[in-house]
Chains A and B, each alone.
Chain A
Amino acid sequence: MDTLQEWGELFVNRQDLLWITLWEHIQLSLFALVIAVMIAVPVGVILTRYRRLAEPVIGVAAVLQTIPSLALLGFMILLLGIGTGPAVVALTAYALLPIMRNTYTGISELDPAVLEAADAMGMSSYGRLRKVELPMAMPVIMAGVRTSMVLIVGTATLASLIGAGGLGDLIMTGINRADNGYILMGAIPAAILALLFDRLLRLIESKSRGTSLKPVGVAAALAVAVLLLPMVAWNTEYDLVIGGKHEAEPEILANMYAALIEEETDLSVDVEADLGGTDFVFNALRQGDIDVYPEFTGTALTELLDQSFEGLADREAYEQARDLMEEEHGKAFLEPMAFHNTYAVAVREDIDETYDIETISDLTAYDQELTAGFSHEFIDREDGYAGLQETHGLDFDDLNTLDASLRSNALVSEDVDVIDIYSTQAEIEEFNLTLLEDAESFFPPYQGAPLMRGETLERYPELEPVLNTLGGEITEDEMREMNYAVDFEDEDPEDVARTYLHEQGWIEE
């Protein structure tokens, strides 16, 4: 298990990563907050002047708020693509309600006598707003801003799922690798950041007590400046963007694509291998934010094309996926690699020795004695436990539902004896797990292959032979080793990818 010392080391070794993601996080949060304030405060003020509109407008903001953040981010990809922009839009949508509602309530609930005094003294509507209403409602408005800020800083950790970076990158890495060190390295700074922002906002608020709104204005101007400076430098255009899910394997593969393309062509390539999940990446591909990403034949068939894979051999499955991708989505599915990353069933070494289990079918004899720990997806899927129950008559007395990232830990700590696992997962190596043989070919073909936009291939036809270099290459063992290097030795996916390609003689350096 992790110790404080290990966390300390990780922190020291990955400091650069921490600062980069922290800075991204600050920018993302600040940007969303400033925009939210610039929209919500004026709208809140306008609502106090047209009260009939207040109910419906605040209602709409409340609806935005109820959309689960993950869903909103996923939705943003379809509308606006991936990256910082869509993330900021989503975060802003989240932050609107507290600020707008507090502005409206803060001003609506001011003492009517004071407002009558302001009117009777001949203040203009704007003068009354600036000198009386805003200063008096400021504590309530700022409370709303602070609520929104905490909301933004928290939700911004999810923004990494659509490639916007931030501390969420560290947290996602931690979850994927079941590495608490990374999770804490992302979560603790996020919490500190929220507290710090809160402090800062309170300071601004106390400075602006009285008639002057200057400190608020100065703070807003500074925030905008912080945001705009680096934006200018950001806008680099690439010929090609390679995507990938935020896990070791897709990241390594995406980097291999990039290295090969850069080796063989003059195209400039960017790697965005930190996207949230299958839907996120595929939407980004449809949207044209990324041009190519590694996808599995099984996933393409079942999840993206809604097809059954039953009884299909590897090649048939690939060809069916390829043809349908072309037909239905105009995407090119290039040659698959050798390895399968399918579901597998694993047991601890000692179980393997104690009981006589070699194949999945052998488990049936011991399903009263052994404890199983399966992931949510695996339990429900036809190509998972549900299917195994039907075809193999497997029925565990003691079945636990575990998060995918916790399965192998639970197995090693002897809480469970049998788990589901992906066949190329590095834990197999790390914990010396025994994979049970799938003698009946129960699990579908899950071969990785580049999934590419048709438009991109038309424009750069030279990419096909380049990416097909990997076709039929990379064995399960090789892939597992590379995953191990990234997940357990904390190596850079890009280095791992380049080293492999170099060893194969496909790139120079």
Chain B
Amino acid sequence: MIELQGVGKTYRDGTQAVKPLDLTIETGETVVLIGPSGCGKTTTLKMMNRLIEPSEGQVVKDGEPVQQLSVQMLRWNMGYVLQQIGLFPTMTIAENIAVVPEMKKWSAARISSRIDELLEMVGLTPATYRDRMPHELSGGQQQRVGVVRALAGDPDVLLMDEPFSALDPISRQQLREDLKSLQARIQKTMIFVTHDMDEALTLGHRIALMNEGKIVQLGTPQELLQQPADEFVRTFIGDRRAHRDLAVAEVLKSESRWLTVENSVKTVVPALAEAPPLSPSASLQEAAEILRSTDAPAVPVIEAGELLGTISFEDIAVYVLGGEA
């Protein structure tokens, strides 16, 4: 758990990059910091691993103020992924990944198997990629290594500073999907900085929308979508409310992980049991209402007694943002 208690940053020249703010990130939670450039989101992130020292307030990690921890130990346990990737160009992929485990004095065998495990996790064949140099990889592949390098020392927190914004749209889309599935598997606390609303809606359990050094609104994706705190939030998210009267049939996902097929009959998984089903012509707003009021991860859509598929916030978000689900 990371707590920002009145944390702010004022530079010597008087520029107030971040006004004192409070933010608590639960263990295992992904919080996205989003906002226009210069809003203080990256500064806020860097104050967590002390790349930038706060000028007021304190960051507390698992009950301990980070100022009191050794800065190296603190960082060994906080993976960091940069927008510019920043792989060490003189080291091989394996050597890049091994940096933190080596500093943590892991055994050579453990480091080696960790490298293979991580490379496989992001779909890079260890035999092929271990001994390559970073410049031999594509941008997307490099950033996969960047993510893996941050995870190598088995940190409990992962800090990501616009990790996908320098990539081409296809790689960006892919990595976003990969990270989404990784999120479920590795259960790390993640703080993710981006200026891309799609990314925020897809990845964030909660989103902190920042402007001019302040958190303007903090909430789940649907809260931001449905109850924007003010005009700024509404403008920043964009007018996604035009979609609210759209029929759910448009967004429907027939191949969803909430469905199982037994004896060629589609049924929903038990998690959806309490969600009242919708008809294909119901509006997205109705679907959103149900999702919000029931805690169910998705709503089944039924027509004439036949299960057509399910619809979740994610599906809505992806549709609204124009991505391919």
Contacts and interface: CB of A to CB of B under 8 A. Distances in A.
Interface of A: 111, 113-114, 116-124, 127, 131-132, 135-136, 138, 209-211
A210 B91 contact: yes
A143 B72 CA distance: 33
Interface stretch (B28-36, B79-87, B243-251): B79-87
Nearest to B71: A122
A116 B91 contact: no
A60 B74 CA distance: 41
B91 A122 contact: no
A118 B49 CA distance: 13
Given A111-B84, A113-B82, A113-B84, A120 B75 contact: yes
A121 B75 contact: yes
Nearest to B104: A122
A256 to B, nearest CB: 63
Contacts of A121: 75-76, 80, 99-100, 103, 149
A118 B88 contact: yes
B264 interface: no
A81 to B, nearest CB: 45
Nearest to B146: A117
Contacts of A113: 82-86
A119 B74 CA distance: 11
Most buried by A among B88, B91, B95: B88
A114 B82 CA distance: 9
B31 to A, nearest CB: 18
Contact of B103 (A122, A209, A211): A122
Nearest to B73: A122
Contacts of B88: 114, 117-118, 131-132, 136
B82 A136 contact: no
A135 B85 CA distance: 19
Contact of B86 (A111, A127, A131): A111
A127 B90 contact: no
Given A116-B51, A210-B91, A122 B86 contact: no
B99 A123 contact: yes
Main secondary structure of the interface of A (DSSP, over half): helix
Given A122-B76, A123-B103, A136 B90 contact: yes
A209 to B, nearest CB: 7
B80 A209 contact: no
Contacts of A117: 80, 82, 86-88
Nearest to A122: B75
A136 B86 CA distance: 13
A347 B231 CA distance: 104
A318 B210 CA distance: 95
Task: Please name the 6 residue pairs, one residue from A and one from B, whose CB atoms are nearest each other, closest first.
Answer: A122-B75, A117-B86, A113-B84, A120-B80, A135-B90, A113-B86
Nearest to A139: B90
Given A119-B51, A120-B49, A210-B91, A114 B76 contact: no
A161 B100 CA distance: 56
B89 interface: yes
Given A117-B87, A135-B91, 16 more contacts: A111-B84, A113-B85, A116-B51, A116-B86, A117-B80, A118-B88, A119-B51, A119-B75, A121-B80, A122-B71, A122-B75, A123-B72, A124-B72, A132-B90, A210-B91, A210-B95
A115 to B, nearest CB: 8
B100 A122 contact: yes
Contacts of A114: 86-89
A88 to B, nearest CB: 33
Contacts of A135: 90-91
A116 B91 CA distance: 16
A127 B159 CA distance: 22
Most buried by B among A118, A131, A136: A131
A211 B51 contact: no
Interface in B239-287: none
B82 A122 contact: no
Contacts of B85: 113
A129 to B, nearest CB: 13
A502 B17 CA distance: 93
14 contacts: A113-B86, A114-B88, A117-B80, A120-B49, A120-B82, A122-B72, A122-B73, A123-B72, A124-B72, A136-B88, A209-B90, A210-B95, A211-B91, A211-B95
A132 B87 CA distance: 10
A210 B90 contact: yes
Most buried by B among A120, A132, A210: A120
A204 to B, nearest CB: 15
Interface string B100-120: 100100000000000000000
Nearest to A136: B90
A209 B149 CA distance: 21
B157 to A, nearest CB: 12
A114 B90 CA distance: 11
B90 A122 contact: no
A216 to B, nearest CB: 13
A122 B87 CA distance: 14
Interface string B64-79: 0000000111111000
Given A127-B103, A209-B90, A116 B72 contact: no
B270 to A, nearest CB: 43
B234 to A, nearest CB: 34
Interface in B45-75: 49, 51, 71-75
Contacts of A127: 103
Nearest to A124: B72
Contacts of A124: 72
Nearest to A115: B86
A209 B75 CA distance: 27
Contacts of A136: 88-90
Nearest to B134: A114
Contacts of B99: 121, 123, 131
Interface string B121-158: 00000000000000000000000000001000000000
Nearest to B96: A117
Interface in B206-250: none
A209 B89 CA distance: 10
A131 B91 CA distance: 9
Contacts of A111: 84, 86
Contacts of B82: 113, 116-117, 120
A269 to B, nearest CB: 57
B77 to A, nearest CB: 9
B86 to A, nearest CB: 3
Nearest to A209: B90
A117 B74 CA distance: 14
Nearest to B92: A210
A119 B51 CA distance: 8
Contacts of A131: 88, 91, 99
A209 B95 CA distance: 13
A125 to B, nearest CB: 10
Contacts of B71: 122
A209 B92 CA distance: 11
A169 to B, nearest CB: 43
A53 B317 CA distance: 55
Nearest to A212: B90
B83 to A, nearest CB: 8
A238 to B, nearest CB: 52
A120 B51 contact: yes
A121 B72 CA distance: 8
Contacts of B100: 121-122
Contacts of B92: 210
